[in-house]
Chains A and B, each alone.
Chain A
């Protein structure tokens, strides 16, 4: 069973549907007992980093996610949920994250030439950098759906794929059992479902 952390950020309807489409049981929850009992954890998120970090703390799941990840349970952060895995973010000030992956989150405007539109919205190709189990059913170059204005940096060791948008943006990361995708697998068609499927097989 997959526990999708429900901490009041974004709506989880599509994520729940995408697990049901691949035949995997998933629940949206903030209940510590359910999260502890789950085989895997998804940390979703949209919106602003500091607001989401605050809500995650208020939901009472912040420490629990860290404990569960450190105990070896597979954890996948999606979009802002991936950014929360890092040590800190520079979105409107400096804010601390879960610190499960080394690195920080910076505005993409500092990495791409002027004149390109921000947010980076739409379908873009994955450029694989390192082997990762969640990509076992997809191919280098496959397109996935992005919506973001910030991305993870100084995380070279953990970067498993980048995408090209005037410069290279971090698309996915992994440190042991902790995974992150900047894109939305639940909105990336068959490619996205294959990534979620692979995650459920870890």
Chain B
């Protein structure tokens, strides 16, 4: 039931500005709105596109600003920096503004709006959007327009989210730098000569650069957390099964999971509230209750037991990363948590396990790109030639490499030595986590052993690129939740702190992340573009 109020005949939402009772009295009271220049409103010295979801929700639902204003602010920012950042593959300005206007109308009518209503979101281009091209940053899907929406997109649409467009990624989400996009690499807003991380590089860069309020990414081996870490934003991979994969273009089905990329932990919890939950279209979607994730965000971590896995601080870690993460552990201890070193002895096998399992599943998942029903088709005289040429010309080098690796790992005579072996080691790795979670409520570790590296630095050597994900991969292998939040800088480049939790205890992960964030200022830093 909408609140009973006299409707303004003009329908202009501004009529109610300041009159509406503040129902969501939360963390910070909404301050007076100032105007900078002719169009750009500012709140607390921030432009609308720089604000978070919860703040914007208050402003929009109270009528203090309109969704159209917010959306326009985001597109103005896109106009301003996109040539430099190159986060977007497709912009839907018209669709976004239309949706924004609808939300504004709802507000004007005095209707209650959803927490994500009217707030601009960027979607990684491996999630199907009905009527909007979905390319997975691959030539092979160029021109493909899905006739259906992914479940997460349906959920966002049902919440009246404003979708700004589709953002860049490593082709089919295979990569750690966003350089494997068939179209162009995305730049790190903190240093445009560097990579934003991958594969959800477009999502993280867009959020960091203010080109979206938040974004959805997907995480198969760290693809949400790593770019979040490189771009100084918050990125979460929920427990496998919490978010429906229906409509997420599959890379490695048993590892893929969609997750939010936001500017702070509160926003992350809000997005989680909307995207999590059982979906009958996904057989691996778990039937577990979805709590209000913001209810975990009370800043209280007293007595919480935190494990610090020593293997994540080993060879190859940047000393600055190590220092920042250990500093974060101190901070958490200071806040009342009990931190202790622990061991995940099979961590050193994670990379090998992952690079068998993920490519094996990918080799099968990507078999459908054959030029028959959609996407690119090469000219050929017969069918076999058409298949081979289409795939030769349509896939980039990293995708081919993984298809080859995966096909080999599943092929006759090698299945036991590779695929089956890796699935068994997966069991050992899960047991490692089970064991430490008997003693600890969560684990903290670096998100990546390194900070954002220069473009081209690792493209020639696949293994050195794979190493970047060494700290995030085990979380996917075990199917457990993990978040990356900013915890420091090295030479002006963000460092990510990873918090890892028990299956379906995503709430605790958010709780610890929030407590840290609340008591630090790293997340408030913005890149200068």
Partners in one complex: no
Residues of B with Cβ closer than 8 Å to A?
A: none
